[in-house]
Amino acid sequence: MNGIIEAIKTGVPGVEPVEVSYPEKGYHCALQASPDQLIGVVRFFDERRFYLECLICTDYADYLELVYLFNTHLAPCRAKVAVKIDPRQPTAPSISALYASACWYEREIHEFYGVLFTGHPNMAYLFLHDGIDHYPLRKTRVPVPPEDRARLDSFKPCEAEDTFFINLGPQHPSTHGVLRVVLKMDGEYIEQAEPVLGYLHRMHEKMAENRTYQQFLPNTGRMDYLGAMSFNLGYVLAVERLCSIPVPDRAKFVRIIATELNRICSHLLWLGAYLADLGALTPFLFVFDDREAILDVLEGVAGSRLTYCYFRFGGLYNDVDDAFIAGTRAFVKRMWSRFSLYEKLVTGNVIFLNRTRGIGTITREQARKYGVAGPVLRSAGIACDLRKMEPYSAYNEVDFDIPVGEHGDVLDTYRIRVAEMENSLRIIEQALAKLPGGPFMAEKVPKKLKPPRGDVYQVVETPRGELGIYIVSDESDGPSRMKWRVPSFSNLMIFPELAKGVLLADAVAILGSLDLVIPEIDR
């Protein structure tokens, strides 16, 4: 970490990086930059092959703060770059030319805060297509000026000679939810793909600002309904980091068991839905059979089958019982015997291989520029798994591998997800063997949390990849700002790039391989 601080000092004169305690804050170093210095700082990180993790805006009443989080894929080194801007005339230089992933984040901030990013190619609406009269995330009511409204409304697909537009979604069998992708087609080939978001936008980030920390807990499972445990875990860990709440060992192990069960569940559903996208309908029913076994086990302790809210600040809602442990053991045994079946049904199928091999190939550079996460990132050959990189809960006490791909194509994402299911089973087996006794809940967790002023960032590896939660506390009992960096959002950003020039059928195969969960993108 000291290395990077020295490098920043010499590389970008004029900024003062400081080292930060990682366990307390969730990032390693922080620096303040003025809007004029920003491009220089970002270029510095780009040259050192950092990726842009997230771009966050926070309203501190007398100033707006833009936070750029940079990290590397191979060694955890998270740098927070904060830029203060004037709330009356909020402008900042756009970094979308350097980082493609910044493009959507900047659009989102423009829509919610009114910050104008100079040099951005398209400042149109990302979520709120019905129009807004004031910027929803500003602390004071700031009306949207007419020129800004015109800028926001600029998304208009226009037809041309020899091409036509089709709407893939918002109601379409293969978008798995209400995602809309406007495709500019030349016959069966796609010339341009433009995702249109916001059909399931609920503004969880605004909701968080109006609730206490406890009240927001159930919201977490509603963002990613397939990986609810991971989202739940991420939020709980973030608040625990913010309020310095200790967690007993037993809770840590149960947390990873439940999260890994949920991960298998999510990957199984992906497998079934993906093959349905490719036209094979039978595996869908097979995976539901396996998934059912997990749901039954989790229902016994968490009380729900899909939108779990099992973890609490300092522990768990409920201790696991013998039925849970026996059920989990039985499931693990059953699941090990199922892989050969999927192997025969799917991997051995020449049609499946020909549909997926060499399709949607992602290079390492693309993966970095777009900030893709999870199995899609690992398919490009980057062994980045946050369970290993920044171990949380009890992940540092179990042994597992990070499967990576060779070609970065759609077939690799399939292989990685299957291998991840096997590794999840290994984690569950080890965690069950090591499961300690003792309390499942920390003592003396206050009913009303009043965390100290400041911010924290917490990452967890969800089934879809890196989830980051950024919380700003103003010493009240609820967050003053909460930002969710969700994996599907950044994975969808790369889709237009991958879909360029491919057949419609391949676009469906690529879209499916990204494993998007729409409520998570729209939040």
CB of 226 to another protein, least distance (A): 19
173 lines the binding site for another protein (CB under 8 A): yes
User: Residue 480 and residue 474: Cα distance in Å, rounded?
Assistant: 6
The pair phi, psi for residue 123, each rounded to 5°, is: -95, 35
| Cα 416–Cα 373–Cα 464 angle in degrees, nearest 5 | 65
Question: Which one among 39, 98, 325, 504 touches another protein, defined by CB under 8 A?
Answer: 504
CB of 354 to another protein, least distance (A): 6
341 lines the binding site for another protein (CB under 8 A): no
181 lines the binding site for another protein (CB under 8 A): no
160 lines the binding site for another protein (CB under 8 A): no
286 lines the binding site for another protein (CB under 8 A): yes
Question: Which one among 75, 160, 166, 341 touches another protein, defined by CB under 8 A?
Answer: 166
DSSP annotation of 345: I
CB of 281 to another protein, least distance (A): 7
H/E run at residue 47: helix 35-47
277 lines the binding site for another protein (CB under 8 A): yes
Buried b / exposed e along 182-206 (16+ C-beta atoms within 10 A): bbbbeeebbbbbbbbbbbbbeebbe
* Residue type at 275 in one-letter notation: L
343 lines the binding site for another protein (CB under 8 A): no
Residue 519, preceding peptide bond in cis (omega within 30° of 0): no
Question: In the 3-class helix/strand/coil scheme, how is 442-484 assigned residue by residue?
Answer: CCCCCCCCCCCCEEEEEEEEECCEEEEEEEEECCCCCCCEEEE
* Token couple for 12: 């970008």
Select from 412, 354, 357 the least CA-distant residue to 383.
412
User: Residue 361 and residue 366: Cα distance in Å, rounded?
Assistant: 10
331 lines the binding site for another protein (CB under 8 A): no
Which residue bears the tokens 């298998």?
264
What string marks each residue from 20 to 59 as x (binds another protein by CB under 8 A) or -?
----------------------------------------
CB of 350 to another protein, least distance (A): 9
Strand-pair category, 465-473 with 481-485: antiparallel
The pair phi, psi for residue 186, each rounded to 5°, is: -120, 95
**Which is closer to another protein, CB of 170 or CB of 381?**
170
* Token couple for 172: 């379409």
Strand-pair category, 29-33 with 79-85: parallel
CB of 517 to another protein, least distance (A): 17
Tell me, by CB under 8 A, how many residues bind another protein: 29
Residue 170, preceding peptide bond in cis (omega within 30° of 0): yes
CB of 8 to another protein, least distance (A): 48
Question: Which one among 100, 116, 508, 510 touches another protein, defined by CB under 8 A?
Answer: 508
506 lines the binding site for another protein (CB under 8 A): yes
CB of 294 to another protein, least distance (A): 16
CB of 173 to another protein, least distance (A): 5
285 lines the binding site for another protein (CB under 8 A): yes
For residue 42, the SS3 value is helix
* Part in contact with another protein (CB under 8 A); list of ranges 94-102, 108-116, 270-278, 457-465: 270-278
Question: Which one among 50, 70, 105, 352 touches another protein, defined by CB under 8 A?
Answer: 352
Question: Which one among 257, 258, 278, 386 touches another protein, defined by CB under 8 A?
Answer: 278
**Which is closer to another protein, CB of 431 or CB of 502?**
502
> In the complex, which residues of this chain contact another protein (CB under 8 A)?
164, 166, 172-174, 188, 275-282, 284-286, 289, 345, 349, 351-352, 354-355, 503-506, 508
